[in-house]
Amino acid sequence: MGKVFVADLIEGEPVTSYFLAKQVEVRQRRSGEPYLTLVLADRTGEVSGVLWEGVEEVSQDLAEGDIVKVQGLLGTYQREPQVTLTRLRKAAPEEVALEDYLPRSAQDPAALLTRLREVVDGIQEPHLRSLLRDLLADEVFIAAFAAAPAAKSIHHAVLGGLLEHTMSVVGVCRLLAEYYPALDRDLLLAAAILHDVGKVRELTWDRIFDYTDAGRLLGHITLGALLVEERIRAIPGFPEPLAQRLLHCILSHHGELEWGSPKRPKTLEALVLHYAEDLDGKVNSFLSFAQTHPDPQHPGWTQFNRSLDRYLFFGRGEAGEVPPGR
């Protein structure tokens, strides 16, 4: 049997396929009997699943990140799709192709890296250009930077998402630097390139998107500042005021203390970077959610988006249909 993807599942029809198991949890019914809940995922999306029978046997060696073969029926629960499972087992390695299970950016990483190098070559400040070229010459770093997701979920949560998000933020910052000549263009673009580099140490992406120990303990903002400071110290004569302004952009790019920023933006470049980064994340989150969570009962609308705390309207075609590709 070939792989059937989440995006191709049809409500009311049987499901027999292979999926990545996420958020695996054994719970108890009021009667005290166990049941299993999990999220079934592949590169096209996710759907929740529930198993009511044979839970103890199935759950003994089932772990987050396992690839499983399931049988069941796709229905709905609380207005969202859910597969009621009748059978579940771990898949054998020869049954699966790992590239089917993690979503990947639609953009070509090689093309994005070429654009990144062009931006770096256009930076005039010699110390910033040296810092960025040093990173681009690090093959281990670049391999991770081109492969990593930008987040575990919410926005750009795909392989290559970090590079895609970075280059999108760079593009927004280039436009803003042209519009607002008071900005230090070189500093802003360097900060845009470096603002999320800590995610190569914060996240893992082998079977599932998850956090490393360092990611949980320190977070990508701290990890990124440490990584950049280490590189700065290796460049003779790097001006201390320039280093402080660059590191401040990295440390403040989430904007508010309650959003995880150790500092709030206090320079013009840091303020602009924060809004550019936040805008790109929200636009990507909106578009991704509209594509993966349309509300079939209300064409043109999404299901409720918990992160934005609202329903989202993405439009209808001329005859009332959801526009293609949404």
pLDDT value at residue 102? 84
Largest interatomic CA distance in the chain: 70
Which residue is it, tokens 């009667």? 31
Which residue is it, tokens 């499983």? 68
Across-strand partners of 137? none
Contact between 275 and 160 (Cβ < 8 Å): no
pLDDT value at residue 208? 81
pLDDT value at residue 306? 86
Cβ-based neighbour number of residue 188 at 10 Å: 24
Rounded Cα distance between 109 and 163, Å, is 7
Average pLDDT, consecutive stretches of 10 residues, N- to C-terminus, the chain (326 residues):
86 94 91 92 91 90 90 91 94 84 90 97 98 96 95 85 97 98 98 97 88 95 97 97 98 90 96 96 90 85 89 73 44
Rounded Cα distance between 51 and 34, Å, is 9
pLDDT value at residue 79? 79
Cβ-based neighbour number of residue 79 at 10 Å: 10
Cβ-based neighbour number of residue 174 at 10 Å: 17
| DSSP H helical ranges for the chain | 55-59, 109-121, 126-136, 139-147, 161-179, 185-194, 199-202, 213-217, 219-233, 240-251, 268-292
- pTM assigned to the model: 0.81
pLDDT value at residue 277? 96
Contact between 228 and 187 (Cβ < 8 Å): no
Rounded Cα distance between 109 and 147, Å, is 8
pLDDT value at residue 320? 42
Instruction: Name the 3-class secondary structure at 72.
Output: strand
279 φ, ψ to 5°? -60, -45
Rounded Cα distance between 255 and 247, Å, is 14
Instruction: Name the 3-class secondary structure at 2.
Output: coil
Amino acid at 73: L
* DSSP conformational letter for 299: T
* Domains observed in the chain: 6-100 (2.40.50.140), 109-286 (1.10.3210), 296-326 (no CATH)
**Token pair of 144 as six digits:** 């991770």
**Token pair of 93 as six digits:** 């390695």
Q: Which of 154, 102, 141 is nearest to 260 (CA)?
A: 154
pLDDT value at residue 318? 47
